[in-house]
Structure 1
């Protein structure tokens, strides 16, 4: 991932409602959620949420698909993976044993039902 794309992703996540929406969609990957359901769960007005979801989608973190009258939003797991790898690409100065606890934490989080995207 190029630095400018990572900066766009971090900027999109650097707002409380957008971060909550993103985390909600991570929990519902790969199926996603309709925009109305996201608004209801986060208790955010639909028009406000629409703006936030558009910001996340422009940053490449979400995709959207029309399903009849609903807009279904999904987290883009490939983009999330690339963002995490961007952060960790030079991890531990070539000493993988130093990164092992971090990798274990990620593995454990993803092994706990509801704690990760699976």
Structure 2
């Protein structure tokens, strides 16, 4: 059976692929992208914190409250950036949609050519 440490290390590769694809996408909100990259910071902090907890306290990271909470701050900040990024994108999208509605634009209806070609 595969150890949890090996599984954790292997799980980074699909996540790095995910980051590569969303980084190239022109549709990902920039703030959300920073949040997804911040998750890597969380991982980078958690690994040495877990090693320190094991060596210094003889316990897993989850059982050393102050250290675990300190590491989790980075995950919380990453999640906040992701939520704020998508919130900002939704607000912008609604504003564009509202503006188009005010101008009489409806992308679901066929558009009439109103130009006078006579």
Q: What TM-score do the two structures reach when normalised by structure 2?
A: 0.27
Bigger radius of gyration among the two: 2
Q: Per residue, is there more helix in 1 or in 2?
A: 2
Q: Per residue, is there more strand in 1 or in 2?
A: 1
